[in-house]
């Protein structure tokens, strides 16, 4: 069976959003909100990891759609958003500012209601920085495997920083044009590190992070490689870990398996943070960093159980 035929047989089709709203950020960048799920339920706001897009987490968030109102957004220059002219603004400080603008825009557009944030990877780091510097605006916060980098002197500092810098070097030179999304999907499917994704996710991710160049007919990464690289480098220098215990509201970290043979630094750092600060934490056995796409049912169950425990329920 060819990969092309396999993708046709396992294609994941996203529902049309109930509403789509474009928000203008403080510097003019556009972020497009999409509303799915149950408009009468409590609100969940979701975003993605560096270089990815929230549509690609559909195997996970579809499991929450019956009970919760889902507001999806992509970080600037990712996914559905048009490219902003100033790539120097493609960095975590602007992601933090954007998160505040998104929260304001969601309330202005759809009204106020109980709201939890569900954020993976760099958007989880963004949520931590936002909570520590802008303020706590959530009824609950769920962070999926945030790639936190401990401060110099911590036993995991060099490992975590080195991993972010390796990704920074890799991303700045990654190919950014493809003849078709299936080309990138095949590359994802052939990667050993991405082999645990649920069926159809490689093709969905490729479709979610590429857009067609109508002049050349090629498919181009939505997120510019130089911007992706810049984000990894900034994250390597943030050192938010000592303040992790200062996050004031209900918080849970859902992490990759720190005992997995292929564990990367986020799995180890998140276990260490839990041991130091004692916040709610659960590692999903047999997962790597893309935990929601590898074990979507387990992640959805952990989320709903935690939200119920803290009184955030339909």
Report residue 275 as tokens: 């041991």
Residues 182, 10, 301, 45, CA torsion sign: positive
pLDDT at 5 over 70: no
Quick one: pLDDT at residue 99? Answer: 98
pTM, full prediction = 0.95
User: Lowest-confidence range among 2-16, 31-45, 73-87, 224-238?
Assistant: 2-16
pLDDT of 9 above 60 = no
pLDDT in tens, 217-231: 999 999 999 999 999
Task: For the chain, list the strands marked E by DSSP.
Answer: 19-24, 30-37, 43-47, 69-72, 115-120, 140-144, 177-178, 210-212, 219-221, 251-255, 280-283
Q: What angle do CA 94, 100, 102 make, to 5 degrees?
A: 95
Model confidence at 133: pLDDT above 50: yes
pLDDT of residue 6: 41
Residue 1 has pLDDT above 80, yes or no: no
Reported confidence tier of residue 81, pLDDT bands at 50, 70, 90: very high
Largest Cα span, the chain: 53
The arithmetic mean of pLDDT across residues 56-60, rounded, is: 98
The percent of residues in the chain predicted with pLDDT above 90, rounded, is 94
Q: Give pLDDT tens digits for 155-209.
A: 999 999 999 999 999 999 999 999 999 999 999 999 999 999 999 999 999 999 9
- Per-residue confidence at 10, pLDDT binned at 50, 70, 90? low
Q: How far apart are CA 73 and CA 53, in angstroms?
A: 8
Q: What is the mean pLDDT of residues 259-270?
A: 96
Please determine, for residue 152, whether its predicted confidence score (pLDDT) is greater than 80: yes
The Cα-based distances of 250 to 41, 64, 281 in angstroms read 19, 19, 12
Decide if 44 contacts 119 (C-beta within 8 A).
Answer: no
Residue 130 vs residues 30, 48, 75, 285, 286: alpha-carbon distances, Å:
19, 15, 14, 29, 30
Confidence tier at 85 by pLDDT (50, 70, 90):
confident
Q: What is the pLDDT of residues 102-119, one digit of tens each?
A: 999 999 999 999 999 999
Which pLDDT value is given to residue 314? 80
Give dist(CA 257, CA 261) in Å, integer. 9
Give residue 268's pLDDT band: very low, low, confident or very high (50, 70, 90). very high
Query: CB of 182 within 8 A of CB of 4?
Result: yes
- What is the distance between the alpha carbons of residues 212 and 218, in angstroms, rounded to a whole number? 6
Is 244's pLDDT higher than 50? yes
Tokens read off for 142: 């769920």
Domains and CATH numbers, the chain: 3-309 (3.40.50.1820)
The C-alpha angle 10, 16, 19, rounded to 5 degrees, equals 150
């Amino acid at each position: 069976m060819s990969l092309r035929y396999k993708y046709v047989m396992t294609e994941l089709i996203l529902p049309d959003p109930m509403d789509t709203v474009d928000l203008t950020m403080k510097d003019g960048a556009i972020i497009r909100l999409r509303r799915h799920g149950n408009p009468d339920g409590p609100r969940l706001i979701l975003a993605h990891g560096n270089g990815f897009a929230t549509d690609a987490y559909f195997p996970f968030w579809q499991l929450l759609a019956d009970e919760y109102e889902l507001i999806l957004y992509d970080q600037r220059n990712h996914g559905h958003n048009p490219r902003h002219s100033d790539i120097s603004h493609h960095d975590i400080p602007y992601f933090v500012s954007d998160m505040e603008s998104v929260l304001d825009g969601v309330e202005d557009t759809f009204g106020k209601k109980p709201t939890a944030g569900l954020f993976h990877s760099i958007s989880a780091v963004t949520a931590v920085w936002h909570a520590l510097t802008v303020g706590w605006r959530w009824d609950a916060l769920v962070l999926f495997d945030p790639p936190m980098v401990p401060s110099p002197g911590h036993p995991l500092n060099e490992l975590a920083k080195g991993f972010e810098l390796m990704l920074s070097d890799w991303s700045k030179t990654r190919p950014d044009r493809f003849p078709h999304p299936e080309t990138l999907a095949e590359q994802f499917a052939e990667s050993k590190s991405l082999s645990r994704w649920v069926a159809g996710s490689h093709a969905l991710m490729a479709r979610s992070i590429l857009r067609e160049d109508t002049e050349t007919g090629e498919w181009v990464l939505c997120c510019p490689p130089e911007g992706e690289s810049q984000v990894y480098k900034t994250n390597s220098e943030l050192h938010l870990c000592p303040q992790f215990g200062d996050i004031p509201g209900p918080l849970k970290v859902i992490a990759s398996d720190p005992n997995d043979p292929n564990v990367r630094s986020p799995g180890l750092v998140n276990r260490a943070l839990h041991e130091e600060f004692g916040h709610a934490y659960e590692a999903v056995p047999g997962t790597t960093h893309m935990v929601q796409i590898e074990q979507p049912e387990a992640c959805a169950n952990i989320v709903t159980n935690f939200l119920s425990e803290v009184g955030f329920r339909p």
